Amino acid sequence: MIRNSVFFVIKMFSTQGKQYIMLDISTVIAFSLFTIEWFHIWGHVLILFRVRLLPRKDLVRIRYYFLVDLLTVFSSSILFTGQLRWLAALQMIQHAYYFIYWDRTGPAKRIINWSSLDWFKSDLKNKWEIDLILGTAFDVVVHICMAYHLGQYLDVSLVMGSLFIVQWYVEEIGSYECILLIHTIHVDS
């Protein structure tokens, strides 16, 4: 676990003048991880409920998202909180598989197809893929659990500030690719 060692000063302005809040390094790390976990939650919920999807060709290019997702859970559970390591291990195995075998195996191709806009153009659009739905729901639950345990290191104002950042980013940027911290790279074939 990260110990309190370095302090950051954040200036806040109020009607009475300047106020300073001291945040130790563990609070800053918890805040950052908490915010990233909420970006993952938001992104997975958009896919799960079919709100915002990418074309398959773009989704194939974002294989590294699974590595970012895996590293976020690793940092949140294994390195920082020490909580729910078994759950984090299951999620990390799942994401390592998709990172390594992205668009090369049947299960990986199924998740790409189901998570893409092209699914709605296929003959499968009315088919319920229960295993993919449960897998995505599992991922949402993992990120919610990680956010919960990280939230134990934060006071209410920091939790609300983090959620405000996520909501602002979603509304202002409005790009699912950015929500997932993804910037697709167009490579000439």
β-bridge partners, 20? 11
- Amino acid (one-letter) located at 56: R
Q: Is 46 left (phi over 0), alpha (psi -120 to 50) or beta?
A: alpha
CA distance 25 to 126: 49
Enumerate residues 6+ apart whose C-beta is below 8 A from 189.
none
How many residues can be counted in the chain? 189
Asked if pLDDT for residue 36 goes beyond 50, the answer is: yes
Q: How far is CA 47 from CA 3, 52, 103, 116, in A?
A: 36, 6, 18, 9
Q: Where are the domains of the chain?
A: 27-179
Enclosing H/E stretch for 24: strand 17-24
Q: What is the mean pLDDT of the segment spanning 1-25?
A: 49
Q: How far is CA 102 from CA 44, 64, 111, 113, 180, in A?
A: 17, 9, 9, 12, 17
Q: What is the pLDDT of residues 102-150, one digit of tens each?
A: 999 999 999 999 999 888 888 878 888 999 999 999 999 999 999 999 9
> Is the model more confident about 24 or about 188?
24
Residue 189: pLDDT band with limits 50, 70, 90: very low
Residue 19: pLDDT band with limits 50, 70, 90: low
Q: How far apart are the first and last CA of the chain?
A: 45
Evaluate whether 133 touches 48 at the Cβ level (below 8 Å): yes
Residue 54: pLDDT band with limits 50, 70, 90: confident
Q: What is the mean pLDDT of the segment spanning 68-84?
A: 96
